[in-house]
Amino acid sequence: MKNREVAIIGCGLHPWGRFPEKSQPELAVEAINMALEKANMDWREIEFIAAGSPLWVYDGEGVNNCLSGTAIERQMGNIGVPVVSTANACATGTATLMVACMAVASGEFDVAIAVAADKSAMGFFRPQSRNSRYDPDYQRFVMTGYTNPTYWGVETKRRMEEVGTTEEDLALIKVLVSKAGAKNPYARYKKVFTMEEVLNSPMVCDPLRLYEICSTSDGAGAVIVTSLDKAKKYTDKPVIVEGVTIGTGSFGDQSLPLYMLSAFPRPGVPTLTESRNAIARTYKMAREQYNRRCPEDIDVIELPDNTSWHYLVYLDCILDLKPGEAEEMIRRGDTDPIDGKIPVCPSGGLASCGESVAAQGLYQVKSAVDQLKGEAGESQVKKDVKVALAQTYGYAGNNAACLLSRGW
Amino acid sequence: MNTKEKNKVPLIEDMFKWPSDEPRIIASRCKKCGTVSFPKLTFCQNPSCEKKRENIEVIELSNKGKLYSYTVQRYKPPEPFRYEPYKPYGIGMVDFPEGIRIWGMITRMDNLKIGMNVKTTAGKLYEDEENEYLTWMWEPVD
């Protein structure tokens, strides 16, 4: 951050899964407790709260969703500090981290917490209103039966034609990522998949099969930040936030932010601009302040493997690859989550967790922090990790990226 | 036996031309920069354009385009989507000569090909006692 350096001093998670017996704020409290313990800190030391709001206003817990921060602060005990609740779809968790970091970087606050809990709707996501005039999500859903995986299926089919991606490539991604999920105590699915199991799983939206599409989950994450100069008071291993941002798309994008019924592709504008804009801004922040060579300096990546297609296109975006290079990398094993040249998703990714939408970014950040500190247990990657990157993909063109490094 | 023919109505008004022998997508176009939007917008989505209502005109798109890509939705989506009796359906995006790429169901799920020519048509989603509810669909013409 330009004004002052910001560091992560404590992270907490509630494990991913299904927890009908707990409310969202309760899940958040468990994540906060763990983060406070890691930071050797009392709740009353928090000066600013940025909370993530899940999308399920109708299907979910109502006010706990739209006013998530209010609900979480109430569960922890009101301490009279500023609370903001933010909704950025799947980029929400990282959005809370961005807001918390900006609060500290400004100098206005010394200690801030980013927190999000989400009990995501099950099955295909559906619109949260019945407003046929003004809700574009309702319009797209009832008029075309366009579920999120249909869009991903359409783009995967196109990629197969243009780049030569194979069904085996798509299955291999699940096989690779599931190896790491089996080692992560916070992941929901611990099974290691074989190629045969993935290729025999039911077709959902051709060419994407059931095990190549992430499920949805409940979960919660919390991350506490302070200025780097104050961080040593709380931990021996502060993790520097070199860059963190939300990304939105550019006019004329070739691809379609989920829920929109049309794109107006303009010459020279690439696909997934919300992703490219997020990653470019994060790299810029890290370059300007830390002379970081991006993407060459990145040692480990947590990317949004919502489907196997996402895994490939995010390798493209993050590493600035030429068409087909991502496929070559996975076939060579370069992205093996534990002993790859550039390990991808050592947390087990969305494939092993299911997506707890608003909280997912914080899950990724916690995983990246653990890798930097060497505290990832059996999921610790083989190579020495000095710089880690986390990126999310989101509904309606919400994206987020975060670049972290050692502060010790 | 009730032989009265049901009214065929769009499930949501004003998204495609109906009634019509040649259904077409209803979109908006900016008179200044030519940007086309669907569903139609009140203001031009080009960030360089002034946000003035009078800059926007409503247009009907060409009735033919090319299939950008497609898939098949194999499982039934939840409510409020209704497609009855339910069966898996083709769905995809079509590039129109006006420069816009649009989503829609496809009238079949087999023998589809990227780049094939399709035309805009109307198809039934479901019916109740009074009406048949329609949406726009892409019909392969190759």
Query: Which residues pair with residue B127 across a beta bridge?
Result: B132
Dihedral through CA A258, CA A260, CA A264, CA A269, nearest 10?
-20
Distance of alpha carbon A404 from alpha carbon A406, whole angstroms: 7
- The mean per-residue pLDDT over the stretch A184-194 comes to 95
Residues of B within 8 A of A156 (CB-CB) are: 71
Share of chain A above pLDDT 70, in %: 100
Residue B66 at interface with chain A, using a CB cutoff of 8 Å: no
Q: Quick check: A205 and B74 CB within 8 A? A: yes
Residue position matching structure tokens 């009855």: B84
CA closest to B14 among chain A residues: A133
Q: Report yes or no: A269 at the B interface, CB cutoff 8 Å.
A: no
pLDDT in tens, A250-303: 999 999 999 999 999 999 999 999 999 999 999 999 999 999 999 999 999 999
- Pick A217 or B142 by higher pLDDT: A217
Set out the domains of chain A in order of their start, with CATH numbers.
6-122+212-406 (3.40.47.10)
Answer whether B88 touches A (CB < 8 Å).
no
Tell whether the model's pLDDT for residue A32 goes beyond 90.
yes
Nearest CB among A150, A155, A256 relative to B91 is that of A150
- Residue written as token pair 């999308």: A55
Beta bridge partners of residue A165, listed in sequence order: none
Q: Is A265 on the interface with B (CB under 8 A)?
A: yes
Domain boundaries, chain B: 16-140
Distance from the Cα of B4 to chain A's closest Cα (Å) equals 26
Whether residue B80 and residue A124 make contact (CB cut-off 8 A), yes or no, is: no
Q: Which of A58, A122, A143, A216 best tests the B interface by mutation, with the highest count of B CBs <10 A?
A: A143
Question: Which of A135, A151, A258, A262 should be substituted to probe chain B, the one whose Cβ sees the most B Cβ atoms within 10 Å?
Answer: A262
Cis peptide before B77 (omega within 30 of 0): no
pLDDT of residue B2: 57
A-B contacts at Cβ under 8 angstroms: 118
- Asked if B12 and A202 come within 8 Å (Cβ–Cβ), the reply is no
Looking from the CA of A163 toward its CB, the CA atoms found within 13 Å total 22
* Single-letter amino acid, residue A364: Q
Q: Which of A258, A264, A307 to mutate to test the interface with B (most CBs of B within 10 A)?
A: A264
Contacts of B61 (CB under 8 A, 6+ apart): B24, B25, B26, B27, B36, B38, B96, B98, B100, B102, B120
pLDDT tens column, A87-142: 999 999 999 999 999 999 999 999 999 999 999 988 899 999 999 999 999 999 99
Tell the burial category of A339 from Cβ atoms under 10 Å away from its Cβ (0-12, 13-18, 19+): exposed
Dihedral, CA atoms, B127, B132, B138, B142, nearest 10 degrees?
Answer: 100
pLDDT grade for B3, boundaries at 50, 70 and 90:
low
pLDDT at position A328 over 60 = yes
Chain segment B116-133, per-residue pLDDT in tens: 999 999 999 999 999 999
- Which residues of chain A neighbour B101 with C-beta distances below 8 Å? 256, 262-265
Contact of A123 with chain B, judged by CB distance below 8 Å, is answered with yes
ipTM reported for the complex, 2 dp:
0.97
The pLDDT assigned to A42 comes to 98
CA of B70, closest CA in chain A: separation in Å?
A: 5
- CA-nearest of B78, B72, B110, B77 to B92 is B72
Contact A38, A260 (CB under 8 A): no
Strand partners, A263: B101
CB < 8 Å from B in window 176-205 of A: 202-205
Name residue, tokens 């940007």.
B35
Per the omega criterion (within 30 degrees of 0), is the bond before B85 cis?
yes
Contacts of residue B105 in chain A, CB cutoff 8 Å?
144-145
SS3 assignment, position A188 = coil
Q: CA A291 to CA A390: how far, in whole Å? A: 19
Does A261 contact B37 at a Cβ distance shorter than 8 Å?
A: no
Check residue A314 and give its pLDDT: 98
Q: What is the pLDDT of residues A50-99, one digit of tens each?
A: 999 999 888 889 999 999 999 999 999 999 999 999 999 999 999 999 99
Phi, psi dihedral angles at B138 (to 5 degrees):
-100, 130
Task: Report the C-alpha gap between A226 and A232 in whole angstroms.
Answer: 10
How far is C-alpha A192 from the geometric centre of its chain's CA atoms?
Answer: 22
What is the pLDDT confidence band of residue B4, given thresholds at 50, 70 and 90?
confident
Question: Has residue B65 got a pLDDT over 80?
Answer: yes
At B1 the pLDDT is 52
